[in-house]
Structure 1
Amino acid sequence: MTRVEFREVLQRWCLEDPKGTDGIEELKRDLEYLEQELFHEYEVTEHGGHANFGTRLAYWIGNLNNDPDRKGLYRLLSHLFFIGRAEQKAAYRTAYSKHIMQWLMRVANINPFQGNANQLLEFELAATRYTEVTDSFGIRAFCTTNLIQTEALRYKWEGNTTNWDAATFRREVLDEDNNGNLRRRNLVLLEDFVGSGSQMLDAVDLAVSLGPDVNVLLCPLFICPEGDREARIRSNAANHFSYSPVMQFDERFFISPTAVAGEHPDFPRIRRLLEKIHPLIEGGPQEYGPFGYRQTGGFIVPYTNCPDNSVPAIHKRRENSWQPLFLRSSRLPV
């Protein structure tokens, strides 16, 4: 379906619903605004000859060949949560100025009203090592945004957990001297988006295993309910481990394979549609079913890349069968 053809279809849908019961016209206005202000930031399709959002939307709706399914797919977008560049930058700032600062004041028992509070906090900041769980976090951008100029070493946990050695880590990352004194006794694990938590758990467990002389903070910018539950379990199990997410997504941004109490009234219809159309999408080494990796069922799209925790109907491509709206850039062949 071309963009012109989709506009004609959209116009017909609006005319068929003069009272706005279906919410199509309101959603149309919202998406047109977001197309201009936000969706163009999606990096995966920003270069390389990919079509703009409006054209991709027409292709996406045109994957289906009957009006009720097309309309249902379009209405799914009312639940989409897009994280843009400005939101990511704001999350970087909040992680540092609020979550990390408050954590340091707590672990160092700094009273903010005492006269030398600033000097004590600066001392703790100098004893802090910032690390990223995966390279998607962008620790360089985090340091630049927050004017952190003391991080010559930027450690990434991903790819280093299999043969990880505590003594080597303490010496090379935490700057332990020959007498066992740590120059960096505060360790921060940062991640941009956490779905189920599977990518972060190994890193968290290894960091906690360093012992009580190392204060550990896990600070994801955005985290889904399953990952949040896993992080809280670990934070309750170790006194020297803290967990402080910048934004925790609630259940309204996720659809489960089976109905749950209190879910959005749209979800039964969306659930049936996702299951119905999945044969057009399924296939390849990353086949997780209609609800994505670990059946997370997310409707969340960061501007850097769509996670596989979001429903495949949004991000997955299948040659001659399904064109995605926000193509996912995968590390595995699809």
Structure 2
Amino acid sequence: MISPSIADRVQKWDLSPTAPLTPLTTFGEIHKRIVFYYSTHYFQYLPTLSVLYPDFETRLANWLSNVPDDQNQRLLFELLPRLAFFSREDFEKLHQAAFDGPVARWIFESSRLSVSDPELDKKLSEQAHRHTWYCPLSDSLRINDFHNVNGIGGVDYRPDWRSLARFGSEAAILDFMKNHQDIQGPAPLTRLVILEDFIGSGSQSSDTVRFIQRISKKIPTLIVPLIVCPTGAQVWRAIESFPELTFSPVIELKESDMITAGTARDGSFAGRIADLAESTYAAVEGDRAASPRPYSAFGFPGHVNISLGTGSLVTLYSNTPANTLPLVQHSSNSWNAIFPRSARIR
């Protein structure tokens, strides 16, 4: 799977006096970890299934060759298995965690159910399956997968709210929810759950916020990102001040999970990656043919502090967010990405 040139480099690095920054390991062990992650995760990466891209081992060799010196090649090599790569199977579990966690708690609380009620399970299931409308925030989230892994059916339409905000009618949406029926008869949809696979800075989804806010004044609404970065969580928690709008993520990343311009340059692995992101940014950006991408050395700008960028280390099997470090996901005439992002607008 890994080309001999990679294996040769790894062997040379382990013979050198410079050890990995990862404690108690060797580059050979990191190599084995990458091979394992390829067999379980990396092979699923959808954008590179296109004939436009070479196979993984070629992309890895090209990615390392972006930087000429061994020191920075070793840093990139060590960064790869530290990326949080979420596979399709991971997302199936996240869909289930969303339904069994934030969604179930919210329905329980908003329906004013009691744990002492002997029919609690029946009533909770009734509310979750017949009277709650589950939709994606954008077309990035695979809403059909959410329904399938949780055994949810009964609602024929599952539009994304980014599109509804652009083309939809508030009156038509409320009428649909009020008059909804399933095979058992009238089943009005009395609450709305909006899911998203990943929220980075929260600024892209903010275009849809006003529309959701208007709906939430009339329909209790829950926003559930499967993964959210700190700036995105901050933005949505400010929006949560609306009384009928609740924000409850499945995985909320911490500031310490990010690498930004504000990362301490103390010789740590994170600090050295921050230095590398800045020193290679001119090459990553290239001839600016994709302008305004890649936005900054640390990815799509943070909504709260636009100078820092989000600095995410997240990759999804379906795509890599623009909030992730560009040296991972942006290709140009002078840089080859390891997980090239499929941009919505080109």
Q: Same fold (TM over 0.5)?
A: yes
Is 1:328 paired with 2:341?
Answer: yes
- SS in structure 1 at match of 2:280: helix
- Separation (CA, whole Å) in 1 of partners of 2:267 and 2:187: 50
What pairs up with 1:28-47 in 2 under 5 angstroms?
28-47=31-50
Cα shift at 1:92: 0.8
Q: 1:159 to 1:329 in 2, by over 3 A?
A: same
CA contact (8 A) 2:223 2:247 kept: yes
- The correspondence for 1:299, drawn from 313, 320, 323, is 313
> Does structure 2 retain, via aligned residues, the 8 Å contact 1:195–1:296?
yes
Please list every run of at least 4 consecutive aligned residues from structure 1 whose deviation after the TM superposition is greater than 6 angstroms: none
Label 1:260 to 1:215 Cα distance change in 2 as closer, same or farther (>3 A).
Answer: farther
1:109 to 107, 112, 120: 112
In 2, Cα distance between equivalents of 1:147 and 1:322: 44
Q: Structure 1 residues 34, 287: closer, same or farther in 2, change over 3 A?
A: closer
| Contact 1:204–1:218, Cα closer than 8 Å, also in 2 | no
Work out the CA distance in 2 between the residues paired with 1:228 and 1:211: 18
Please state how far the C-alpha of 1:164 moved relative to its aligned partner. Answer: 4.7
CA deviation after TM superposition for structure 1 residue 10, in Å:
1.4
Aligned residue for 1:189, secondary structure, equals strand
Q: Does 1:168 align with 2:172?
A: yes
1:200 aligns with 2:183: no
Which amino acid is 2:294 matched to?
Answer: E
Counterpart selection for 2:90 from 73, 87, 90: 87
> 2:178, 2:229 → 1: CA distance?
30
Partner SS state of residue 217, structure 1? strand
TM-score normalized by the length of structure 1: 0.89
- Whole-Å Cα distance in 2 between the matches of residues 269 and 119 of structure 1? 54
Counterpart contact for 1:161–1:203, Cα < 8 Å = yes
Deviation at 1:221, TM superposition (A): 0.8
Deviates more, 1:204-213 or 1:25-34: 204-213
Of 219, 222, 225, which aligns to 1:214?
219
Structure 1 residue 61, shift from structure 2 partner: 0.2
Distance 1:40 1:83 in 2: 12
Partner SS, residue 121 of structure 2: helix
1:207 shift after superposition: 2.4
CA distance in 1, matches of 2:84, 2:21: 22
C-alpha offsets along residues 144-172 of structure 1, whole Å, 9 cap, x if unaligned? 11111212011211223145543232113
Q: Which amino acid aligns with 2:336?
A: Q
1:120 Cα deviation from its structure 2 partner: 2.1
Asked whether 1:75 is paired with 2:78, we answer yes
Instruction: Classify the secondary structure of the residue corresponding to 1:112.
Output: coil
Select the residue among 181, 186, 195 that pairs with 1:190. 195
Distance 2:316 2:274 in 1: 22
Deviation at 1:203, TM superposition (A): 3.2
What secondary structure, in the 3-state scheme, does the structure 1 residue paired with 2:215 have? coil
Aligned pair 1:238/2:242, yes or no? yes
Which residues in structure 2 correspond to 1:146-161 (within 5 Å)?
Answer: 146-161=150-165
- Mapped partners of 2:267, 2:100: distance in 1: 35
Q: 1:272 to 1:174 in 2, by over 3 A?
A: farther
CA displacement 1:78-114 (0-9 Å, x = unmatched): 5311001111000111111222111101001111330
Shift of 1:47: 4.0
Over 3 Å counting, the alpha-carbon distance change for 1:258 and 1:122 in structure 2 is: closer
Out of 328, 331, 334, which is 1:317 matched to? 331
**TM-score of the superposition, structure 2-length normalised?**
0.86
Instruction: Note the residue ranges of structure 2 that are not aligned, 5 or more in a row.
Output: 302-308
Deviations 1:275-295 (A, max 9, x none): 111111112222312111011
Distance 1:21 1:247 in 2: 27
Q: CA RMSD in A?
A: 2.5
- Calculate percent identity across the aligned residue pairs: 25
Aligned length: 326
Structure 2 contact 20–78 (Cα < 8 Å) conserved:
no
1:270 deviates by 1.3
CA contact (8 A) 2:264 2:271 kept: no
Cross-structure match for 1:9: 9
Deviates more, 1:187-196 or 1:96-105: 96-105
